[in-house]
Amino acid sequence: MTMLDPNAEDLPPIPGKRYFTIGEVGELCAVKPHVLRYWEQEFPQLQPVKRRGNRRYYQRHEVELIRTIRKLLYIEGYTISGACNQLKDPEGGRHSGPDGFSGKANVEELVDELRQISALLGK
């Protein structure tokens, strides 16, 4: 899956759930589960919750981080160490990195949760 235009990514929208399994994240980010497990070793920011049986559960901000990592590696052509540097030093590069998108993601997540609560209260 090679794309020249980073804005042309055809990834599905992230559902308004709290946790995602590794299979769901793989589908949402177009990345195979073994790659996600490898990225956990290479990117210290990526730390899914591990529960019974060592099953991984990713939160929304981690899914967004994985999409950012995927974009850096597959679309923009960074090496793993280069992508790590971009995520560590968002000011030095063109990318907002975890500080830039996680704040916005947290606000969007809160707004989404408030809408869901409001819809439940309205029923």
What's the confidence (pLDDT) of residue 101?
46
Bridge partners of 50, per DSSP, are 56
| pLDDT value at residue 113 | 84
Taking the whole predicted model, whether its pTM rises above 0.85 is answered as no
Domains and CATH numbers, the chain: 10-122 (1.10.1660.10)
Res 105 pLDDT > 50 = yes
With cut-offs at 50, 70 and 90, classify the pLDDT of residue 91.
low
